[in-house]
Structure 1
Amino acid sequence: MTYTLIVGATRGLGASLAKQYASEPGSRVYATTRSKAAPAGFPDTLHWLSDIDLMQPTVGEDLAGQLKGKDPLDVVIITAGRFMTEDFSTEKGPNWVDEVTMYTTSSIAPVFIVHSLAHANLLKSGTKVILISSEAGSITLRHEKEGGGNYAHHASKAALNMAGKLLSLDLKEKGVIVSIIHPGFMRTEMTKNVGFDAHWDEGGAVTPDEAAKSVREWTEKLDMSKSGEYWAPRGPRDIGMAETVLGKDLGTPLQLPW
């Protein structure tokens, strides 16, 4: 029996991952939701953990508490995220509340979740912790062609990258693997709601199901040699500034620069 936890499983990539992992024989999949009830349209074999809100300071304790007494996890994937647009104008500009939401969801909550799981003995030697980041968190890949704006979206992912690196150092002795990945530019409600659907075709956006398949394949092959590193399992195909900044003939998977 393998035990998998998907944090942020009700939509987008998280939903696809939950469904795909739940379809595997001999697996038990825990999936989180902010609501009190299990959402519709998912396999009955999923085990839902309710009232898990990444904006709450007790999120780690809440999650570990619902898993108390369970077997240690083989895979933990933290995929929850938020994206609200910002620019430098006086009309829109940066938004304080939106920034706090993005930083908390993307880069603060994951630290508390991993910390609580580890101290509840729910992580073991060989556990794989996958932090879903984005190429948007790479400072090296930011280029004048793209311009500025969207401060918290990019910076919260950069913060998650650093948090993941530090967690990998803290968990190395325990044998826990921490992988930070860009899963691909996806055709989700989140990217649609901020207007990025206009770039789906040009940017090579994929469905959440396609991205989930890549994440699962990456996770299956993952070992300690890549712990604490930042990768794009699908390669450079949907990273707009990859060739501009890093050059031609880039490989797949692609290790991303910080």
Structure 2
Amino acid sequence: MSQSVLVLGATRGLGASLLQLYASKPSTTVFGTTRSSTPPEIPSQPNIAWLTGIDVAKQDAGQEIVLQLPSSTRVSTAIISAGYFGFETFDEPDWEKEVKMYTTSAIGPVFIVHHLVKAGILGERSKVILVSSESGSITLRHEKEGGGNFGHHASKAALNMVGKLLSLDLKDRGIAVGLVHPGFMRTEMTRSVGFDQYWDDGGAVTPDQAAESLASFIEEFDISKTGQYWAPRGPRDIGTAEDVLGKNLPTPLQLPW
């Protein structure tokens, strides 16, 4: 059965791994977005199409996606994995970083999903997957990890609310909306904020590993779980999971808000 998948933020990290994973599946067309005005220099594949000049943090991103998609395109799954992490502490909060994190994580997705639905690109049985993080769970925040990184944590909590609200708006249309913590990953993003020092102890995985588990979860995800918040890889890389939720937790794990 043929399907079309849209990956927003497909040039690096999890997004790039998802692009390649879906492109390896028979009868699957993958649309990937890049902020650049030209497609990335990667080996071309006939079932990958690039949408260029797409910045999730810009108001016109959804309109640009609609304009660049071939007419009559119907997307089975749209995954918004684009993200930005600006490191902060209480002693050095950063206004510009916080604005960028909120805009990218929690504002941009509203407008993108709006335009995709209104254009008929997302419809009955389509899935929208919003890549969040366990860091957006207020319940899981624990004194052992301390404070700081206000924009990162709070923008993901805001994204969780956005996903919940979208799920309510789109349920009658048959569109399922999921929020996911894909895993603690060994990416340039986590390295750039110094989190590479925690990779080994924190059970960090490669983007390819995270993409595999996320894609398997998406395959089983449907309207019965719309609006829910999940960790497809379970509690293994969530440092506060056992302290807050107890032991012998399942995989995948539904996360608390």
- TM-score class, shorter: over 0.9
Deviations 1:153-184 (A, max 9, x none): 00000000000000000000000000000000
Whether contact under 8 Å (1:184, 1:205) holds in the other structure is yes
- Secondary structure of the residue aligned to 1:231 is strand
Q: How does 1:90-101 map to 2 (within 5 A)?
A: 93-101=92-100
Partner secondary structure for residue 178 of structure 1: strand
Amino acid at match of 1:58: D
1:88 and 1:71 mapped to 2: Cα distance?
Answer: 46
Q: Is the 8 A contact 1:19 1:42 kept in 2?
A: no
Q: Select between 207-216 and 67-76 the one with higher mean Cα deviation.
A: 67-76
> In the alignment, residue 109 of structure 1 is paired with which amino acid?
G
What is the SS of the residue equivalent to 2:174?
coil
Look up the SS of the partner of 2:124 in the other structure. strand
Query: For residues 167-182 of structure 1, what are the structure 2 equivalents within 5 Å?
Result: 167-182=166-181
Q: What TM-score do you get using the length of structure 1 for normalisation? A: 0.97
Structure 2 CA distance for aligned equivalents of residues 170 and 197 of structure 1:
39
Could you tell me how far apart the structure 2 residues matched to 1:149 and 1:162 are?
21
Matched residues in 2 for 1:218 and 1:59: separation?
27
How many Å separate the matches in 2 of 1:215 and 1:68?
Answer: 27
Unaligned runs of 5+ in 2: none
Corresponding position of 2:35: 34
User: Any gaps of 5 or more consecutive residues in structure 1?
Assistant: none
Question: Percent identity at matched positions?
Answer: 60
Matching residue of 1:60: 62
In the alignment, the residues of structure 2 paired with residue 158 and residue 185 of structure 1 have an alpha-carbon distance, to the nearest angstrom, of 17
Per the alignment, in what secondary structure is the counterpart of residue 125 of structure 2? strand
Contact 1:102 1:152 in 2 (8 A): yes
Q: 1:51 aligns with which of 50, 53, 63?
A: 53
Equivalent position amino acid for 1:104 in 2: T
* CA RMSD in angstroms, aligned pairs only: 0.8
| Aligned structure 1 segments of 4 or more residues deviating by more than 3 angstroms | none
Aligned pair count reads 255
| TM-score, normalization by structure 2 | 0.98
Q: How far apart, CA to CA, are the structure 1 residues paired with 2:220 and 2:22?
A: 15
- What's 1:130 paired with? 129
User: Counterparts of 1:107-122 in structure 2 under 5 Å?
Assistant: 107-122=106-121
The structure-2 alpha-carbon separation of the partners of 1:248 and 1:4, relative to structure 1 and needing over 3 Å to count, comes to: same
Cα shift readout 1:112-161 (whole Å, capped 9, x = no counterpart):
11000000010111101100000000000001111110000000000000
Output the CA distance in 2 between the equivalents of 1:256 and 1:249. Answer: 14
